[in-house]
Amino acid sequence: MKFSLEWLKYFLETEATTAQIAEKLNAIGIEVEGIEDPAQKLEGFRVAEVLTAARHPDADKLQVLTVNTGDGEPLQVVCGAPNARAGMKGVLGLPGAVVPANGMQLRKSAIRGVESNGMMCSVRELELGEQHDGIIELPADAPVGTSFADYSESSPVFDVAITPNRPDCMGVYGIARDLAAAGLGIFKPVEAEPIDGDLPCPVEIRTDDPEGCPAFYGRVVRGIRNGASPDWMQRRLIAAGQRPISAVVDITNYLMLAFGRPAHAYDLAKLSGPVIARRARDGEQVLALNEKTYTLDSSMTVIADDNGVHDIAGIMGGEDSSVTEGTTDLLLEIAYFNPERIGVTGRRLGLATDARTRFERGVDPAFLDDGLAILTSLIQRICGGEASEVVRAGSAPSEPKVIAFDPSLTARLGGVDVSEAEQRAILERLDFTVDPGSGPGQAWKVTCPLRRHDIEGPADLVEEVVRIHGLGNVQSVALPRMDGVARPTATPMQALERRVRRAAASRGLNEAVTWSFLPTSEAQHFAADGEALWVLDNPISEDMKAMRPSLIPGLLAAAKRNADRGAAGARLFEVGRRYLRGKDGVSDERPTLAVLLAGEKTPRGWASGKAQAFDAFDAKAEAEALLAEAGAPVGNLMVMDGAGGQFHPGQSGTLRLGPKNVLARFGALHPATLDAFDVDGPVVAVEVYLDAIPAKRGKQGFAKPDYAPPALQSVTRDFAFLVPADLAAGDLLRSVKGADKANIVDARVFDVFEGQGVPDGKKSLAIEITLQPGEKSFKDEELKAISDAVVAAAAKLDAELRG
């Protein structure tokens, strides 16, 4: 939010400098993000008088001006503005000045052979508005030679960040009140004089949606002249980043930025019948002021008449009833809308406006009459016109919150001693009403202003006292610590997550942190069959509505963003939570590690030829390596199908401890999944379910035992088996390793062959087993016994030793 120092001083009497104001704003919790001084941009621009104006000898649309700058001899300037003439006063940019609008540095130059010493400037070129059809015309009494920055009373502009809990500071008026409470000046409250209209209101105004619009006030003003707003108003609006449009529109924007109170003006001639706050009908449409058409539903509050919707309540007005230069009669509207309803409507429509920001945070419900009176007064003062009576439909919340407050709580929670007298004074300066009770030691009864929606309990009152007293007065005190070595605080799961995170990074994967929320369609795609999603009632946006049932969609989106920007490949991982519906509808958070490999595994080259893509075996290798690092018994894992419909059925699988305990799923993603996410394949992925990995028995957490290398050299033996063609190699390995668990420490497939010499329906699997002797080397008879046991174990799977 932006505002000028001059605007602030309209509500705050202070001699504080810009730096002192910025320091105090930061101290009371209103963070200053930047300060801009327009005077610096206007350096080198002066008030000048045109003495003569003659046609350029070589250009019909140019004039040669003689300009008095109040400093020595007049200067010659070439100008193309149609309004340039002798006797007028304007703004001259001298050589060396930089034009704010385009950054061009002015210099002495020749234009069509005629020397020009600078430039006469337009409003747009100095970023003072949008007018650009002529140069600036100043009043006849403008002092020639004066710096234009001084003449225009340019004022420093503050850019502040207002936290969501402080809607009362979404206007300059509220910020001035806070600064005055902090001792930086005297607050100048605006006394809104009620305007009693003599005319009966010709329009019926009512609210048929008391939940969405509890209060809807309005009045008609006839006979206005809607021209340009006055310079002082335009200057303040431009400082706040608003473009002046017309007097009526500027006045409504001024009310919003000054007092944090959005309002709206309708062209009365474009309305038909009663003006009603009601629920929209499903499928009803409105053409908004941003020239976009929005389709509404019955959850949204609108302002409508007999012709249809004219306003998305509290968010944006409609084009069909908008005010123009020819408008003569107005309907002024000021209302109180339900903040939750405004937020939901804005997210569903994807509309973010200044009005929505204020209404969904909560405006002052007590400011309806005052706001309408100020609005009417400004309209009549600037545009003229005659006001009707005020029509009040419904009523805003009017019951103030009363909180029992113990002043000693400030020292306990805030860590600073503030006297009771000062605490009371601070609260009263902030418009809280304090009843200290009948004696010492009793809790105070503090009545909150209606505008302070953020005050919910005594702790919030402590915050108010401490921030105004000064956060710098809170002493930094170290927390007490027990003697001796600190005990570890990380849980076993936290330790596991740290270890697998380091392991994934060491394998060349890049960590990603994605949103825990997904569009409903993407979340549904990765939900298990029949599994209900967790859908938020009040999401950040419609694209972040469902809690993720898998981490893969977020990584897919990240990979797509990288690919769209020219990345040849992506190797991503994330450690986070999946969100499932547990028993009885209770939220179930599952710690998970996900890996996604997309694009090129190896680039094309003179040795490798074409670029190679990732495949399901790469995904399996990542899954097994990360499970091993997590302490899972990788050697006992079973490879089974059932990775889910999101994976390619022939290029995916699961790793399990027993038939039911799934530790991970891996493989190539299904082409339909890639199409749904608009990602080019192939893409492989892994999900490791960290909570399914069993802990080591007798151990706290997953710590690995100390490793001691064996004293004797290992022995390898090779076997080639003829097995059924549909037998999984993993099943044969598991059976062979179980033949002699004491001596066989590893087994791996090193060859698969089908073809000549192998019977139909069979394949040849060659296996290398590793034997590790213990206290003494193996004897020949011991090796034979182990071999026989291996062959016998393989025979149980219909495998026979190949001759």
Q: Which two tokens stand for residue 111?
A: 């234009």
Q: Which two tokens stand for residue 768?
A: 């290398």
Distance CA 9, CA 5 (A): 6
Residue 674's Cα: distance from chain center in Å? 27
Neighbouring residues of 562: CB distance < 8 A, sequence distance ≥ 6: 570
Phi, psi of 380 (to 5 degrees): -70, -35
Positive/negative CA dihedral, 537, 542, 544, 548: positive
CB 747 within 8 A of CB 736: yes
CB 705 within 8 A of CB 613: no
The residue whose two tokens read 């005629």 is 114
Q: Which two tokens stand for residue 256?
A: 């919003």
> DSSP letter string over 424-460?
HHHHHHTT-EEE--SSTTSPEEEEPPTT-TT--SHHH
Is 168 known as a binding-site position?
no
Q: Which two tokens stand for residue 86?
A: 């002798």
H or E element at residue 518? strand 517-518
Is 678 known as a binding-site position?
no
CB 303 within 8 A of CB 277: yes
CA–CA distances in Å: residue 17 to residues 23, 186, 639: 10, 15, 73
CA–CA distances in Å: residue 353 to residues 267, 293, 336, 449: 21, 16, 17, 26
CA angle (499, 502, 504) in 5-degree steps: 105
Is 208 known as a binding-site position?
no
CB 598 within 8 A of CB 563: yes
**Number of C-alpha atoms within 13 angstroms, CB side, residue 274?**
11
Distance CA 423, CA 112 (A): 72
CB 14 within 8 A of CB 179: yes
Residue 170's Cα: distance from chain center in Å? 19
CB 601 within 8 A of CB 569: yes
Is 706 known as a binding-site position?
no
Per the annotation, binding residues are: 454, 460, 463-464
Per the annotation, binding residues for Mg(2+) are: 454, 460, 463-464
